[in-house]
Structure 1
Amino acid sequence: MQNENLPTEELKKFGIINEDLSFSKKLNADDIQKFLQGYTIVADNDKNRATFQLTENNTKLKVIFLERDKNLSEILEKSKEKIQYSESKARYDVNDNRNSAQLGFSKQAFVFDKETSTVKELDFIKNAPELTKLITERKNPKEINQYKLELEKLKNFLQDKIELYPEIAKRITNDLNIISREIDSVNSIAPDEKQIAKENNSDVQLNVNDRDLYEDANRNREEQEEQEETSHRTKSRGR
């Protein structure tokens, strides 16, 4: 891992580091360490989400803009009553140059922990075994059936995308295998079983939930789009 070749100008634009190259005070020491190790910073603002991840040995910054199907505040509040499910989609089409070779879709479950009064956000793909284990151990038939329904919906969605996006068929197939495995796990569970899914490593996301950080990123994206449109119009007139 290299830190001396960080994409400092991009990190400045998105408010992740300051002009003096120090990291934003919105990030604590643990956040920074995880970010430098490849974890994803997630900045939420209502239905909008921006993710930031260092790639290529920390020399590139990968930024993705997503839109949720529901407001985050609404999800968090309703999760106190029952498990909430949400989907996020990339703002750009999968074949758009700005977001090429990416499915640009994710599905999450929000589970309220009464003991700690916190909400856990778990991704259907990245946190699959943990999510299945958490839901089934609650031993609530309605929650388990709803979870199974959400898994089936995601499976159908992915199956439809394989033919549409052959360039990422391998990745979609891998996601499909994960979802199919969790469906099998849920189907095989007896009412009195507690251990229903094996624990394994997952790509844990660092969730900042920072409105200012999201807005910094969104503003920069809009400025870049305006520059691209102006450049395109100039080239058109020159023909």
Structure 2
Amino acid sequence: MESHNLPTEDLKTYGIINEDLTFSTKLSPDDVQKFLLGYKIVADNDRNRATFQLTDNNTQLKVIFLERDKSLAEILEQSKEKVQYTDIIDLSKSTDQWNIEKKAFIFDKEIGKTVEFDFIKNATELTAIIADQKDWQELSRYKGELQNLKNYLYDKLDQYPEIAKEIANDLNIVSREIDSVNSISNKQIAKSDDSKIQLNVNDTNRYKYTNRMRENEEQQREEKRKVRR
């Protein structure tokens, strides 16, 4: 990517560069370098999110405004207790366009921060992290969110035939994760049933009680045979 001929007026408008053409101090040198290489800058404020990306050899600035169904502060706070799921709407698109992204926010205790995961881009990793929590109620919540996304994508499949291939690919990803969740749930049920069976076999009192019942039944049958003689 080229770093000259930047769209300076647009960059000034959004506070990415200053009047003296230096980059905002809110951006680290690494942020600036990545931005010049085509990476997005993401800015969050309450329910709103804006993304900025240089295109056309750094001569154009692509700006997308997004809106969450929850405020970021609420998401970050509640994520400390349990996983937070949110839909993000692309405000640059009309309501009859494909404009929804689904995200999960999970608090990582090791680093002490909430991490954002995309249901499509981070699908396999997200399923593994939630399954690793071994919280089957949370796994059920996650499956419900996956199913909602699947239904949404199905609706859009016929609506946007020009991007049907991309939507079908996302559908396959979501369907695969639903299958993974079902497999994990079934294994847990089977494991739970095996534990119950094992408990019954190892229950000494139950075993002795059953043996006594059998001894009594045999004794009664023997006495009946003697009476018949």
TM-score normalised according to structure 1 size: 0.72
| Map of 1:117 onto structure 2 | 112
| Map of 1:232 onto structure 2 | none
Bigger RCO of structures 1 and 2 (CA < 8 A, at least 6 apart) = 1
Q: Does 1:34 align with 2:34?
A: yes
One of 107, 131, 140 as aligned partner of 1:136 = 131
Q: Is the 8 A contact 1:108 1:121 kept in 2?
A: yes
| Map of 2:180 onto structure 1 | 185
Q: Is the 8 A contact 1:132 1:186 kept in 2?
A: yes
The structural deviation recorded for 1:93 is 3.7
Q: Does 1:22 align with 2:22?
A: yes
For structure 1, the residue ranges without an aligned partner over 5 or more in a row are 97-101, 194-239
Q: Is the 8 A contact 2:90 2:99 kept in 1?
A: yes
Q: Is the 8 A contact 1:103 1:168 kept in 2?
A: no
Q: Does 1:73 align with 2:86?
A: no
Number of residue pairs matched?
188
The structural deviation recorded for 1:69 is 0.6
Which whole-Å CA distance do the structure 2 matches of 1:164 and 1:109 have between them?
Answer: 26
Greater Cα radius of gyration, structure 1 or 2:
2
- What's the secondary structure of 2:164's corresponding residue? helix
Q: Is the 8 A contact 2:43 2:50 kept in 1?
A: yes
Which whole-Å CA distance do the structure 2 matches of 1:181 and 1:37 have between them?
Answer: 33
The structural deviation recorded for 1:31 is 1.4
More helix by share: 2
**Runs of 4+ residues over 6 Å off in structure 1:** 190-193
Q: Is the 8 A contact 1:139 1:191 kept in 2?
A: no
The structural deviation recorded for 1:6 is 2.4
| Map of 1:106 onto structure 2 | 101
| Map of 2:222 onto structure 1 | none
Alpha-carbon RMSD = 2.2
The structural deviation recorded for 1:143 is 1.4
| Map of 1:153 onto structure 2 | 148
